[in-house]
Amino acid sequence: MPSPACQAIGNELRAARVVWRREVIHFLRNRGRVALALMQPVLFLLVLGTGLGALVPASATPGGGDYRTYLFPGVLMMTVQMPAIAAGASIVWDREIGFLREILVAPVRRSTLLLGKCAGGATVATCQGMIVLSLAWAAHVPYHPALIAALAGGLALTSLTLTALGALAAVCITRMETFQAVLSFALMPMVFLSGAMVPMTTLPPWLARLCLANPLTYMVDPLRQAVEAYTLESTANMGTAWPPGWRPSAAAELAITAAIGLAALTVATHRFSRPA
């Protein structure tokens, strides 16, 4: 017969799995929301990337290469960003309709429920990122198995970190209107200041320093470094996203991303575990 400790751990894992499964089922059933969530990054890649690539001379594009190749890592990040943040929005919504109060009476830790929610959000975001990853041909990115594996791993870590940040915002903001207003105000500037679309070398020094303080910067660049290694664009060419003379390694950026996610998840679980 299992010991009480093993039974308690099993109960916690089952509770987290139920919450995770709920998020995945919502993703599979709501195909319209999935299609709308995928439209923006696809339009950025196929319309914005192609349009700017045609308007801007090749010599003026980052590194003199195809602008869509430069844009592709940023599009992947934007793809996982919205479903990951939506997991935080669902916490606020569940609180408003009373569903959150119902599941909090379960004989499990509150942190377990939040971890299940974050795992579900990260899974959904990663799946959507993999769908857009299939459009690599449009950005002249090869379907090399090692490259696809590296990009999938980076997307999974980015999804988990962004989901943790969304959960942190959700446990601090109790009203849906406020939550949406804060995200609308913060997300788009963070995307533009991450080097996803515009190299930092084209920005004024004070604006480039803001980019270095932006967490999204350290989520986009590892994906770009992975793409560089398997495309005709050299590191010197595509690396113009960073100021000259300094660019952290992909391993360091992944470590920074993981640290941000772990810190956000720790604070979120601490606040979520406190009695209302």
180-236 pLDDT, tens digit each:
888 878 888 888 888 887 777 777 778 878 888 889 989 998 998 888 888 754 433
pLDDT of residue 60: 43
Q: Would the pLDDT of 267 be above 50?
A: yes
Q: Would the pLDDT of 17 be above 80?
A: yes
pLDDT of residue 147: 92
Rounded to two decimals, the pTM is 0.85
For the chain, which residues make up each domain, given as ranges? 4-273
pLDDT of residue 152: 93
pLDDT of residue 198: 75
pLDDT of residue 159: 93
Q: Name the one residue in this structure whose structure tokens are 């119902």.
A: 102
Range of weakest confidence among 205-219, 241-255, 258-272: 241-255
How do residues 89-131 score in pLDDT, each as one tens digit?
Answer: 888 887 777 777 777 776 778 788 888 888 998 999 999 899 8
How do residues 19-72 score in pLDDT, each as one tens digit?
Answer: 888 888 887 787 777 777 778 777 877 777 776 666 554 444 444 467 788 888
Q: Would the pLDDT of 143 be above 60?
A: yes
pLDDT of residue 207: 81
